[in-house]
């Protein structure tokens, strides 16, 4: 077979692995030797395929060694608007609306398509998330574990577009969940239902019940949104009370 044609086929195979989520943006790909063994191809042909993907902007070599999935693959979904969303917590409701659509469908298809390995990863992500919530440690680590749990379900949906959209939004997802956790998990009446909702979602996906999984994901996000709105109202009432108390205190001083 023509060497150039072989390298094209290897490049296409690597593209498929990237597209299907086997390699993530920013992740270092295996060494040339290991990758050649896994793909059962020669190292010269693999090297040529990697060069072709680098020219297409999918891969990049970094100083110090190693070839990585290029970060700029997500440029279309990491524009200044998304930076603004990260900096403005009040936009968390917009993020929740997007998640309402994506998470529900992801849970539905995860219940239909999850492999035994997917189910194990979902269970492990759930257990790690619950353990962090119970210890009440670093809110950012809790946020990452929460996001990882939901992403494990998205991965199990085996929908390439949904997976890449969610991975592109993951930094916003971390910030959004962190802002939510700062408020939600400090309130006893909210933290227990959240844990139960996550468990119901996990169990529905693992049980292979797509409709129950979809409803569990959507009901969870509705609960989060309504709880945050109520917390915001309580905070606004408290701030009004403080302002009024401050005004009255000033009036008394003037007298």
Which tens digits make up the pLDDT trace of 63-79? 767 888 875 544 444 45
Residue 175 CA to residue 128 CA, distance in Å, equals: 19
Residue 55 reports pLDDT greater than 70: yes
CATH architecture of 78-245: Up-down Bundle (1.20)
What pLDDT, on a 0 to 100 scale, did the predictor assign at position 112?
97
Residue 233 CA to residue 102 CA, distance in Å, equals: 27
- Mean pLDDT rounded to a whole number for the chain: 79
Cβ(176)–Cβ(96) below 8 Å: yes
Residue 120 reports pLDDT greater than 70: yes
pTM of the model: 0.64
Show Cβ contacts of residue 128 under 8 Å, excluding neighbours closer than 6 positions: 145, 148, 149
Fill in the DSSP letter of residue 23.
S
Cβ(147)–Cβ(170) below 8 Å: yes
CATH architecture of 3-73: Orthogonal Bundle (1.10)
What pLDDT, on a 0 to 100 scale, did the predictor assign at position 250?
52
* Structural domain spans, the chain: 3-73, 78-245
Cβ(163)–Cβ(21) below 8 Å: yes
Confidence label for 109 from pLDDT (cuts 50, 70 and 90): very high
The rounded Cα 41 to chain-centroid distance in angstroms is: 34
For 145-163, letters b (16+ CB in 10 Å) and e give: bbbbbbbbbbbbbbbeebb
Residue whose C-alpha is closest to residue 182's, from 172, 191, 193: 191
Show Cβ contacts of residue 115 under 8 Å, excluding neighbours closer than 6 positions: 156
Cβ(172)–Cβ(86) below 8 Å: yes
């Amino acid at each position: 077979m023509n060497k150039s044609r072989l390298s094209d086929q290897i490049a296409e195979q690597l593209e498929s692995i990237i597209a299907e989520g086997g390699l993530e943006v920013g992740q270092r790909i295996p060494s040339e030797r290991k990758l050649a063994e896994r793909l059962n191809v020669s190292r010269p042909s693999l090297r040529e395929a990697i060069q072709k993907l680098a020219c297409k902007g999918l891969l990049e070599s970094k100083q110090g060694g190693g070839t990585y999935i290029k970060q700029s693959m997500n440029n279309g979904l990491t524009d200044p608007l998304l930076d603004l969303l990260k900096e403005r917590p009040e936009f968390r409701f917009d993020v929740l609306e997007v998640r309402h659509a994506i998470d529900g469908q992801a849970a539905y298809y995860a219940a239909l398509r999850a492999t035994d390995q997917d189910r194990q990863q979902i269970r492990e992500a759930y257990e790690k998330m619950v353990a962090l919530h119970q210890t009440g440690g670093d809110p950012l680590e809790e946020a990452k574990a929460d996001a990882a749990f939901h992403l494990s379900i998205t991965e199990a949906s085996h929908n390439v577009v949904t997976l890449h959209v969610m991975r592109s939004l993951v930094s916003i997802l971390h910030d959004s969940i962190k802002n939510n956790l700062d408020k939600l998990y400090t309130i006893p009446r909210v933290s227990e239902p959240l844990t139960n909702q996550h468990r119901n979602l996990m169990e529905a996906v693992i049980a292979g019940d797509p409709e129950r999984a979809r409803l569990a994901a959507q009901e969870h996000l509705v609960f989060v949104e309504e709880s945050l709105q109520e917390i915001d109202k309580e905070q606004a009432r408290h701030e009004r009370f403080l302002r009024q108390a401050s005004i009255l205190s000033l009036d008394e001083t003037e007298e």
